[in-house]
Structure 1
């Protein structure tokens, strides 16, 4: 696989005005050494602060930046799904806008992707969250892996690389973003994991409470378990219109 395939970065944004310019700068620096074209798709998920104005300013100064604006807050899964459908390029990179994901890790994920994987998942070995979030995440990962039948160290890490054609076929539902590796495996995706840097949040506040996230995750697990048991995967070998032979 050529290492020059262009990238679409998909980044949900919800009240992250102070993080957007540093994030853009760090992404630009990280991708500067790569022989790839790219676009940065910022999906505004109904921000209430000055995030949208900052995004428009970035788009005016950098042709790589695209801005998608929701009418109202719809959640991270909806923002990712909208970005997947809008992506112009065959490889999608996902990450958060809060600067806890490190753009400097993107080349490392791409290197592994180029070895023939359909998805590469970041693994935050040294998390910079408060202890209750770290514990809650470990418990959620263990339950999620047990019920979905897929072992992934850190399904909650938003820093991922995936094949765009497969991402666009993912079922869309609230909480989808928590199960991206499992949903990709339903399409027979080849997965890999790599350790990535994780940074403490410096600006803004987390949009999720620990209890809220745990309850939502458990509820979603039931649906994903059902989907996994009922999923139909097919590919068309031939499609011949009548009268063309």
Structure 2
């Protein structure tokens, strides 16, 4: 398998079919073998039935349903562990990033192990953009990192990276940083960003900000306690 797309979805019924179609159209331009993995994080809007129908109609689509809402980190971790591709593309289910940009990210493989998208022009509200800017600055200050847009959902990983992650709740916000801690090479490249066309954002500025504030110290704690040994040759 050349590449896997991992898409966590929660109440994204109106975006699922367009998302699958656009990913498949993009992948067909450069890959012969691919899979599109949807992780349904306890949706209640009819996404369950729609995903099952899509899986029946398209052999390249794989679907995993959670019995309840477990959060984005759990959904991403499931997709990573179920993926079979040599490369793994991560996206959100809201169509605010473009699957075609996978080829911008691909230009930096194999030199880099993780290619993190950076939203060149964010089509979000003022509060969300401000919260993201403050959050990224604070995270970089605490972790010693320099990732400008860790929240960009478009990311490309080598297989060995996603299989190495040991994620906890909230850790999806720090995937590039965690990869660096494990010794992998990470780069950021600009990608396109669009307005949400369907559904409602699951992003709650203040609630999410408080959780991220706590999580960043957990990541710093992990960094200070990671094993880093070498055997003499």
| Bin for the TM-score computed over the shorter chain | over 0.9
Alignment of 1:58-137 (within 5 A): 58-114=54-110, 116-137=111-132
Shift of 1:35: 3.2
Residues 3 and 31 in structure 2, CA contact (< 8 A), matched pair in contact too: no
Alignment of 1:11-30 (within 5 A): 11-30=7-26
Unaligned runs of 5+ in 1: 238-245
| 1:61-99 Cα shifts (integer Å, max 9, x gaps) | 111100011111000000000111111122111000011
Root-mean-square deviation (Å): 1.7
Alignment of 1:185-200 (within 5 A): 185-200=180-195
Residues 115 and 187 in structure 2, CA contact (< 8 A), matched pair in contact too: yes
Tell me if 1:51 matches 2:47. Answer: yes
Instruction: Find the aligned partners of 1:235 and 1:122 in 2 and give their Cα distance.
Output: 32
Deviating above 2 A after TM superposition, structure 1's stretches of 4 or more consecutive aligned residues are 233-237
Residues 7 and 38 in structure 1, CA contact (< 8 A), matched pair in contact too: yes
Choose which of 136, 139, 142 in structure 1 pairs with 2:137. Answer: 142
Unaligned runs of 5+ in 2: none
Choose which of 186, 197, 208 in structure 2 pairs with 1:213. Answer: 208
Instruction: Find the aligned partners of 2:66 and 2:58 in 1 and give their Cα distance.
Output: 21
TM-score (norm 2): 0.96
Q: Which residue of 2 aligns with 1:156?
A: 151
Instruction: Find the aligned partners of 1:119 and 1:6 in 2 and give their Cα distance.
Output: 16
Choose which of 174, 179, 196 in structure 2 pairs with 1:179. Answer: 174
Q: Which residue of 2 aligns with 1:31?
A: 27
Say which SS state the counterpart of residue 172 (structure 1) adopts.
coil
Shift of 1:236: 8.5
| 1:113-168 Cα shifts (integer Å, max 9, x gaps) | 23x11000000020001001001000000011111111011000010001222212
Shift of 1:36: 3.7
Residues 7 and 36 in structure 1, CA contact (< 8 A), matched pair in contact too: no
Residues 10 and 83 in structure 1, CA contact (< 8 A), matched pair in contact too: yes
Q: Which residue of 2 aligns with 1:6?
A: 2
Residues 40 and 48 in structure 2, CA contact (< 8 A), matched pair in contact too: yes
Instruction: Find the aligned partners of 1:133 and 1:44 in 2 and give their Cα distance.
Output: 25
TM-score (norm 1): 0.91
Greater Rg over alpha carbons, structure: 1
Q: Which residue of 2 aligns with 1:41?
A: 37
